[in-house]
Amino acid sequence: MSQKKVLVLVAALLAGACSNGGEENTGAVVAESPATAVPDVGAKPDRSNGRTVKLQGPVNISYKIIGAPIVGQAVAVDLQIVSNVGAQTITLTYRVNDTTAMQFPEAQPPSVTIAATNSAEPQTQQVRIIPLREGRLFLNVSASIETGGDTTSTVTAIPIQVGPAAPQQSENGTMAIDENGDAIRVLSGED
């Protein structure tokens, strides 16, 4: 668009916004329709009951890797399972996405069922895996609960670092402050 057309368009929009549509301003307050009402952005949730609700799955899974994982040797992972829906039977299923990186020992079942208890204490299970290479590997643990004919699940990916951790990225150049006071990185031209 040319500059003249843009100026005419802006002037027309401003004139329309500034006019009141030919109506006389009587000072009366006109109620806005619900569609054009501005929401109150200062509204806060009602916390009169003193609780904050956090969305979560039916089961909390926490874990602890026992020992240092070594290629070709079984490593144990202790799992602590807490039901968020009361006393229900929980089915744990273990899975490895990359079978060239990790496998289960022959004695390790692919899934176990934990009987329902009324205890608030976490239930402990142990799973063993055998890393087949170095690097960061993942064990997927799925916990399922059946309630009213439906199955609800929580899945946790447990990272297992085998061997040394990935090397840290080295920083290039040196930090300096420019004439505006901003931090900059100065790279040298030498190899």
Q: Which residue has the higher pLDDT, 78 or 33?
A: 78
* Alpha-carbon span 154 to 81, nearest angstrom: 11
| Model confidence pTM above 0.75 | no
- Give the per-residue pLDDT at 76: 94
What is the per-residue pLDDT across 46-70, written as a single tens digit (0 to 9) for each?
Answer: 555 555 556 677 888 899 999 899 9
Whole-number mean pLDDT of the chain?
78
* Percent of the chain at pLDDT exceeding 90: 30
Q: Where are the domains of the chain?
A: 59-162
Q: What is the CATH number of domain 59-162?
A: 2.60.40.10
- Give the per-residue pLDDT at 147: 78
* Alpha-carbon span 51 to 44, nearest angstrom: 14
Q: Does 20 have pLDDT greater than 90? A: no
* Alpha-carbon span 37 to 39, nearest angstrom: 6
- Give the per-residue pLDDT at 34: 52
Residue 184 CB neighbour total at 10 angstroms: 12
- Give the per-residue pLDDT at 185: 85
